[in-house]
Amino acid sequence: MQEPISDSVNNKENRKGKTNNPNGRPKGTRNKPRILDYISNKEIDVLIQTAKDTALEGDGRMLVFLLTQILGKPDITPDTTPQKLPIPILDILRH
């Protein structure tokens, strides 16, 4: 017979409404720098075009990445073999 789960629920470390980081973030710490803070708009355009070209050449992983960024995460994992790709998706990327 399994042991009841209630032991972990009643644990003081996991009480509702209590934080595991009581002191919070130290004062003066900064956010992590973003890559967008260091590259130009032209470089961003080149990266996007390269990603689109890679997806159009049949890289299914790049296609899924781009579509996830544009449309959000799908409910199911699509089959990304080039033969199974819906034609409208390829047309969208070509424009």
- CA–CA separation, 13 vs 8, rounded Å? 9
Domain boundaries, the chain: 7-94
Write the pLDDT tens digit of every residue in 39-81: 899 998 999 999 999 999 999 899 888 988 888 876 666 666 6
CA distance 95 to 5: 55
What is the pLDDT, as a whole number, of residue 14? 66
More confident residue, 18 or 3: 18
Average pLDDT (26-50) is 87
Write down the pTM of the prediction: 0.46
- Cα distances (Å, whole numbers) of residue 76 to 39, 48, 59, 71, 85: 34, 25, 19, 13, 15
Confidence check: pLDDT of 92 > 90: no
